[in-house]
Each structure stands twice: as C-alpha cells, then as structure tokens.
Amino acid sequence: MNRLISTIALALLIPLAIPGVVAAQQQQQPQATPMYPAPPPQAAPTVQQGAPTTGLTSPLPAGQAKIDKTDIAADTEAQLFIDARKIVWGRYAKIKGAKSGDVAVTRQGNLWTIKGRIDSVAPGTEGDWASIDGVVERISAGVVQIRGEVAFRVAKVEKGTPCKVAGTLTFRRSGKSQVWRLAEGDNPCDGMREGFDLVYEKPTEKKPVPTQPKRG
C-alpha cells in the first residue's frame, strides 16, 4: 500500500518540476541587448576575392638580388680595406700562444670578395676555428658591409657544430684604428661576444736591389 502511494506522489510531482527546470534554463540564457552581442549568424558574409598575386608588373623579389658590383662610397676606406690581411678572434686572443688567422680581400672586376679562416692553436683550444666567406656589398667611411657568413667552431658549444651568422654583416672601424670589428659578432649558439676582427697589415715594400758593378 505504501509503495502504491509513493508511486502516485512521484507521478504528481514530475509535471510540476519540469516547468520549473525549463523556466530556470530560460533565465540563464542571456538576451540580446545593446550591451550583449547577438548570436552569430549561421554563415559568414561573402566578400569579394582579391586580385591574384601572379603576373604582377612589380612582384616582390623571392630573395636578395645578386651582387655584381661593390659600392665604394669612400676611396680612402677601400684602399685601407684591400690590405686587410689578418683575422683576430677575441674569444682566444688573450690566451698565451694564440695566433692570428689569414684573410684575403680580392677584386674581381667591380666586385670585391673576401675569404679567410683562423685556426686556434692556443693550449686547450686546438681544433676550434672561425671563418668568413662573402662578397663586399659596400665600403663607406669606417664601415664595410659584407654579404656572406661568419662561422665559429667551438668544441664545447653545440658539441662542436659550427655556429653561423649570415646575411649582410657590418664591420666597423673607428678613428685611426686599423681593425674592422664584426658588429653582429655574438655567437648565436651560446650568446658569447666573439670579437671577430679583420686587421689591416701594411704591405711589405720591396726595396730594389742595388746593381753590383761588373768586375773586370
């Protein structure tokens, strides 16, 4: 009997509970007002498609243009830079036994190129090296811009994998200094300032050998 009464009571309460739930859900749903955005549309509005990027009269270059001529804006600087013969690597320059490396600036018609390498021989650094390879873009007063790469090989950095800086590299010289230092000289692998320098070396003057008088 009690079970029958409980079943009847539950049947009477369910219809009353459902409208209450529905009303609560309706209250929780925010209404569209000036301070509340309306529901998003079913589909985004259509827009006119832009012009294709192919066949343009002046397209953006895919890469940097090839350099076929070195821009010389300062003859005095150029005359000095052509005699850059040595490389000094600041990471090891103060270690006893350190030696400089060799670099060659070459004129190929109107284009100047540069190539060089320094192999560290200071105790404990054997096998480490730094190099430069590129073309000279521009020479101005106290500034030489080179497009190419400078690589640093240090055994304890990246397990000896060469770390490179590449692109347009800037070498600066100040006052009467005969050293051009790489502005982008931070090693990209460990952040250390490498101090990569190109050094002017005065050409050796060859003195004429005096003619010996003929003996009779």
What are 174-203's pLDDT values in tens digits? Answer: 999 999 999 998 999 999 999 999 999 987
pLDDT at 3: 53
Q: Which has more pLDDT, 206 or 113?
A: 113
Between 22 and 108, the higher pLDDT residue: 108
Three-state secondary-structure class, residue 54: coil
pLDDT beyond 90 at 112 = yes
- Cα–Cα distance between 159 and 121 in angstroms, integer? 19
Among 188, 181, 10, CA closest to 89: 181
For the ranges 35-44, 85-94, 99-108, the lowest mean pLDDT is seen at 35-44
SS3 content of the chain, % helix, strand, coil (to 5): 15, 35, 50
Residue 50 or residue 147, greater confidence:
147
- Percent of the chain at pLDDT exceeding 90: 59
Q: Using an 8 Å Cβ cutoff, are 171 and 150 in contact?
A: no
Average pLDDT, the chain: 80
- Whose tokens are 């076929």? That residue is 68
Contacts of 36 (CB under 8 A, 6+ apart): 30
- The more confidently predicted of residues 104 and 31 is 104
- The CA distance from 202 to 83, in Å, is 7
Tokens for 110, please give them. 């109107």
* Pair of tokens at residue 117: 């390498």
Whether 85 and 201 have beta carbons less than 8 Å apart is answered as yes
Averaged over 101-129, what is the pLDDT? 95
CA proximity to 172, closest of 130, 206, 143, 139: 143
Better pLDDT: 98 or 214: 98
Where in the chain are the domains?
71-200
Q: Euclidean distance between the first and final Cα of the chain, in Å?
A: 158
In contact, 193 and 176? CB cutoff 8 Å: no
**Non-local CB neighbours of 167 within 8 Å, separated by 6+ positions:** 147, 149
d(CA 22, CA 43): 29
H or E segment to which residue 77 belongs: helix 75-81
What's the pLDDT band for 105 if we cut at 50, 70, 90? very high
pLDDT tens for 10-69 read: 555 544 444 554 454 555 554 555 544 556 566 655 544 444 444 444 444 456 678 899
